[in-house]
Amino acid sequence: MPEPTKEAIDALVGPATPQFAYQLRARIEELVKDLPEDDSVRRYGEEKMQLLDRLGHASSKAEAGGRVRRDVPGWEELPSSAPADAPLPHRPVET
């Protein structure tokens, strides 16, 4: 397998959606796991894995553009927008 690159990581993360965030995170983890801890590509991959973790609890990447107004009725009960930089909080699963 060729040496991992930042470009290869960007190619995986670029089209990421919340639905596939964890699958892509696993691919990046596999890609960088054998690199030394201080390797710049590994650190870059770890940063992108954190982004994908946040994206997994979001409804959009929304890295740019406007935000949905939060004063609309029902926002507190069911947020309609949760960008990766402000994902929905983790909620315990009720059994």
pLDDT digits (tens, 9 = 90+) for 46-79: 999 998 988 887 766 655 555 666 666 666 665 5
Specify the range with the lowest mean pLDDT, choosing from 40-49, 59-68, 83-92. Answer: 59-68
- Over the chain, what HEC string results? CCCCCHHHHHHHHCCCCHHHHHHHHHHHHHHHCCCCCCCHHHHHHHHHHHHHHHHCCCCECCCCCCCCCCCCCCCCCCCCCCECCCCCCCCCCCC
pLDDT class of 19 with cuts at 50, 70, 90: confident
Q: What does the pLDDT read at residue 36?
A: 96
Burial annotation 61-95 (CB, 10 A radius, 16+ → b, else e): bbeeeeeeeeeeeeeeeebebbbbeebeeeeeeee
Specify the range with the lowest mean pLDDT, choosing from 1-15, 32-46, 81-95. Answer: 81-95
The answer on pLDDT for 94 being more than 80 is: no
